[in-house]
Amino acid sequence: MSRIWKSIASTFMALCATAAFAQDAVLKPFVLASKGPGDIAQKVEATKAALVKAGFAIAGSYSPYANTTVIGVTNDELRTTAAKSTHGGFGAAQRVAVVKVGNDVQVSYTNPPYWANAYRMAGDLKDTAAKLQGALGKVEEFGAKGLTAEQLRKYHYTFGMEYFDEPNEFVKYGSHEEAVKAVEAGLAAGKQGVTKVYRVDVAGKKEVLFGVAMKGAGDSKIMDDAYIMNEIDFKDVKSAAHLPYDILVSDNKVFAQYARFRIAISFPDLSMMGANSFMNIMKSPEAMREALSLTVGGKKDAR
């Protein structure tokens, strides 16, 4: 074989190896941006300022429990990419968390390529990932051993549990405008303990994403943000950017991901049984589904 053909063959094999590596590379749900001593209120304001400077719009924020603030952000890439796939609107926002743990303040955010694949979006959101890293930093990805893009696009936790393309459809209205109005009204009333954190309109499509807080007490505490996270977010580096949960208005229909998918995709390594396991929040997915359905004008048994 001539030197030229050897060079071509060598280059081809290298390209194939690179492509295979990229395909098999694992992604994790969250990115730790920074960790160190500080005042949480000051860090929240500094984080918001850095995000805005990097071109992100702050869609809204809330404190689901003490020493924790979660910020919803969006940008042009998120809103336009969201429009290109079925229910891509679930990925129209990314979430940034600022959490006080002991003497340190942790800043973390959802890892855009992970969620782009989990939500089967038509793109990997690498530009958004680069902008988040530029604005906030990157120490490490965390939250799971990791999943490949292929695994994420067909993910479900175990047999009998839901896939991304099996969301709850709660109710159908006469028009998109009527559906959005009903959701806004239900969240404003907050009768089921579900209230609005932010709203993001998908670019060029009749699709609106709502980030929602869930507050429960007494018999309904099992759908409460703090109750659930106390059970599953138990590691030293906190995964608070799992919150808030989502409601999606797509055309005239109102959807939410079933919690057995939405929680599992954030915590894919969570054990089924034992301490800090899915078993400890076994009743929460149905309680969440019911609260969300009633909030948006659906029925108690809608599924």
Tell me the domains of the chain and their CATH numbers.
27-147+159-295 (3.30.310.70)
Asked whether residue 165 carries a pLDDT value surpassing 70, the answer given is yes
- Sign for the CA dihedral angle at 260, 261, 266, 267 comes to positive
The pLDDT value recorded for residue 262 is: 97
* Cα separation, 245 vs 235, whole angstroms: 20
Residue 159 pLDDT class (50, 70, 90 cuts): confident
The pLDDT value recorded for residue 257 is: 97
HSE-CB for 268 with a 13 A CA cutoff: 21
The pLDDT value recorded for residue 303 is: 54
Q: Are 295 and 196 in contact (CB under 8 A)?
A: no
| Mean per-residue pLDDT, 52-76 | 98
| Mean per-residue pLDDT, 54-76 | 98
| Mean per-residue pLDDT, 38-53 | 98
Q: Are 98 and 44 in contact (CB under 8 A)?
A: yes
| Mean per-residue pLDDT, 89-113 | 98
Q: Residue 257 corresponds to which amino acid?
A: Q
User: Comparing C-alpha atoms, which of 262, 211, 217, 256 is closest to residue 239?
Assistant: 262
Alpha-carbon dihedral 5, 10, 11, 16, rounded to 10 degrees: 130
The pLDDT value recorded for residue 175 is: 98
H or E, element range at 117: helix 112-118
List residues bridging with 27 in a β-sheet. 147
User: Comparing C-alpha atoms, which of 148, 145, 153, 113 is closest to residue 129?
Assistant: 113
| Residue-by-residue DSSP string for 68-99 | EEEEEEE-HHHHHHHTTSTTGGGGS-EEEEEE
* Cα separation, 276 vs 49, whole angstroms: 35
Q: Are 245 and 214 in contact (CB under 8 A)?
A: yes
| Mean per-residue pLDDT, 154-181 | 95
Asked whether residue 124 carries a pLDDT value surpassing 60, the answer given is yes
Q: Are 274 and 129 in contact (CB under 8 A)?
A: no
The pLDDT value recorded for residue 241 is: 98
Of 7-21, 62-76, 227-241, the least confident: 7-21
Q: What is the mean pLDDT of the chain?
A: 92
Asked whether residue 23 carries a pLDDT value surpassing 60, the answer given is no
Q: How far is CA 266 from CA 54, 125, 274, in A?
A: 25, 18, 19
User: Comparing C-alpha atoms, which of 269, 211, 217, 272 is closest to residue 242?
Assistant: 211
Q: Which letter does DSSP use for residue 106 in this model?
A: E
CB atoms near residue 292 (< 10 Å): 27
Of 178-182, 211-215, 274-278, the least confident: 274-278
| Mean per-residue pLDDT, 158-163 | 90
Asked whether residue 4 carries a pLDDT value surpassing 60, the answer given is no
Helices then strands (H, E): number in the chain? Answer: 10, 11
Percent of the chain with pLDDT over 70: 91
The pLDDT value recorded for residue 186 is: 98
Asked whether residue 271 carries a pLDDT value surpassing 90, the answer given is yes
Q: Are 251 and 240 in contact (CB under 8 A)?
A: no
Percent of the chain with pLDDT over 90: 86
The pLDDT value recorded for residue 302 is: 53
User: Comparing C-alpha atoms, which of 253, 166, 256, 251 is closest to residue 207?
Assistant: 251
* Cα separation, 270 vs 80, whole angstroms: 32
